[in-house]
Structure 1
Amino acid sequence: MAYGYITELNENVTREHVRYNNRYGIAIAADIYKHKDLDETKKYPALIVGAPYGGVKEQGPCVYANELAQRGFVALTFDQVHMGESGGEPRNISSPELFAESFSAAVDYLGVKVPYVDREKIGVIGICSSGGFALSAASVDVRIKAVATTSMYDISDIRGMMNLTKEQIDGMKRQLADQRWKDFEDGQQQYVPSFPEIPYPSVDALPETDPITNEWNRFYAVPRGHHSNARGGFTTTSSLAMMQFKCLDYIDEISPRPILFVAGDHAHSRSFSEKAYEKAAEPKELYIVPDAEHIDLYDQVDKIPFDKLEGFFKENLK
């Protein structure tokens, strides 16, 4: 299981691969990280770390889990259903309901199958779009005691994110409806990956595109963050699900459980954290990381505020 992880496992941390089913019976592939000297006769707080949209556990989540396990947490990372090593057919389908459910499925597993986890002390961290899915899960799953998001994206805000007019929304619906007919005729769903099967050798070799695409490529399309299970994007008609489901409709119901929003000071996604912060009820905190863009909080350990995350969860998982 060592192949493909974007960071080296710390010598004081162990990683175990596990599998379990969500409540729909779909298998989820996950990794559990813990300090090698952890006394398994005792119970510890646990953190569930969700990957960015289209990402896998071998990317940003392994960076977080590797660090947080050194700090006394049991950390679980996972591949979303229909992604990576998890089950679900067809592949590369995006479902906000199922993606939120994956956080609760991890709570199920940790609380029942891992004897050294204190089931009353489970928190979640959502990186990028997993921030929205984690908040959605926590809005109904009271077993999640604290939530942190980093470089949050609300993928379900497709209308606001793309600043669509009513005419554009109607046109998108028509195109997606037509694609459904074509998918059915073809016997498979259209999927167009965003990133190459083989990474570019360096950032200097990347093609020039728009600034945001350039940023994604500087992580996913080069050795820094490339993984063969994370080619980017989802089936074309997955956008229909995002037009039906709003991750943050009930964010205020997470209270009195706390939320920490972490965003880079010049991240293109910063507004998502700010909007979610405004919608959330107390207790909540918006923490801005200086000199950080969106992808810096995926893997740059000198910029990810691990001291802040450690303090937040140790205080709120007491």
Structure 2
Amino acid sequence: MESNKTFKLSEKVTVEKVSYKNKYGITVAADMYLSKDIDKSQKYPAIVIGTPYGGVKEQGAGIYAQNLAERGFVTIAFDESYNGESSGEPRHISSPDLFVEDFSAGVDFLGTRPFVDRNKIGAIGICGSGAFSITAAQVDPRIKAVATASMYDMSRMIRNGWEDSMTDEQRAQTLVQLGEQRWKDFENSTPELPAGFPNEPADVIPEGLDPITSEFFEYYGMKRGHHPNAGAAFTITSSMSFMNFPLMKYIKTISPRPILFIIGENAHSRYFSEDAYKMATEPKELYIVPGARHIDLYDGGDNDCIPFDKLEGFFKEHLE
């Protein structure tokens, strides 16, 4: 029944497909993971878990949800609005406001389960959803603790380019091109979607890719993490919203609720978390995984390097 996962299911948990509406009326699809030892007459802490940017719940988010369910948490891994098995037309839209809202919608769902203590709900964001989880916590005090893994700040990335290398002139030209694209999309009655990763997993990484794209291809384009719902591509004009939506402007206001930033020692993305850590107010922690790259915190890589003991300790301490 659950053979569409990119990882092996644990015999210690049960998985239930669930769905719920966000405040925009989109039906969010999620997988709920429960320990087989759960006593539904009791109440448990819960965690809502977002996917890497362009990923789906059957990949890395599901791995986090499963492992933390084994450790006694009620967890959900969800597909973002307009993507995966969640509703919304046209498909493959990316929206910072919607993707932030999807975290709060997950809190809505979890906090209304009779076996969840609604005062003990946390959030985990992986890659792009790391910043979305932070932004949700800025305005939703029901999120009592938040952790990120290999965080990408997509608003900063899209507005400023890699390592903030985009000039004002380049940004202005990009906005001109996006405006032109909107006319094309309007005339075609559908937004243009760039080519993503292949529909079938590849055996080798194509030649000529830059190092960062090669790393993402290793996960999304090959057997390691390939899933047919995760082409990791969004409509071209989706970028406009990110240029106008600074995700982590109010990160200081999350305090006194805690934030845990987890990064790989060798991750190309580590500066996003390092800078966010500097901006955040105590309590906060920056945890570095030795030897890990960006994508290794999606699935653990060859060395099972996702620090689940650290995550368990963090949420047990701060959701009690």
TM-score, structure 1 normalization: 0.97
Kindly state the Cα deviation for residue 233 of structure 1 after the two structures are TM-superposed: 1.6
Q: Which whole-Å deviations, capped at 9, do the CAs of 1:126-146 have from their partners, x for residues lacking one?
A: 000000000000000000000
Q: Which runs of 5+ in 1 are unaligned?
A: none
Counterpart contact for 2:198–2:221, Cα < 8 Å: yes
Kindly state the Cα deviation for residue 205 of structure 1 after the two structures are TM-superposed: 5.1
Q: State the distance in 1 between where 2:93 and 2:85 align.
A: 14
Counterpart contact for 2:205–2:217, Cα < 8 Å: no
The RMSD of aligned alpha carbons is 1.0
AA aligned opposite 2:313: G
Q: Which whole-Å deviations, capped at 9, do the CAs of 1:138-189 have from their partners, x for residues lacking one?
A: 0000000000000000001023333211110110000000000000011110
Q: State the distance in 2 between where 1:190 and 1:196 align.
A: 17
Counterpart contact for 2:127–2:151, Cα < 8 Å: yes
Q: State the distance in 2 between where 1:225 and 1:155 align.
A: 21
Q: State the distance in 2 between where 1:75 and 1:239 align.
A: 30
AA aligned opposite 2:106: A
1:1-318 mapped onto 2 (5 Å cutoff): 1-112=1-112, 114-157=113-156, 158-162=158-162, 163-200=165-202, 202=203, 204=204, 206-300=206-300, 302-318=304-320
AA aligned opposite 2:194: V
Counterpart contact for 2:44–2:73, Cα < 8 Å: yes
Q: Which whole-Å deviations, capped at 9, do the CAs of 1:12-40 have from their partners, x for residues lacking one?
A: 10000011100111100011101111000
Counterpart contact for 1:252–1:281, Cα < 8 Å: yes
Counterpart contact for 2:40–2:115, Cα < 8 Å: yes
Q: Which runs of 5+ in 2 are unaligned?
A: none
Kindly state the Cα deviation for residue 4 of structure 1 after the two structures are TM-superposed: 2.1
Counterpart contact for 1:146–1:316, Cα < 8 Å: yes
Counterpart contact for 2:265–2:289, Cα < 8 Å: yes
Percent sequence identity over aligned pairs: 57
AA aligned opposite 1:317: L
SS in 2 for 1:145: strand
Counterpart contact for 1:47–1:75, Cα < 8 Å: yes
Counterpart contact for 2:59–2:227, Cα < 8 Å: yes
Counterpart contact for 1:263–1:287, Cα < 8 Å: yes
Q: State the distance in 2 between where 1:141 and 1:230 align.
A: 28
Counterpart contact for 2:135–2:251, Cα < 8 Å: yes
Counterpart contact for 1:95–1:241, Cα < 8 Å: yes
AA aligned opposite 1:54: G
Kindly state the Cα deviation for residue 223 of structure 1 after the two structures are TM-superposed: 1.1
AA aligned opposite 2:153: D
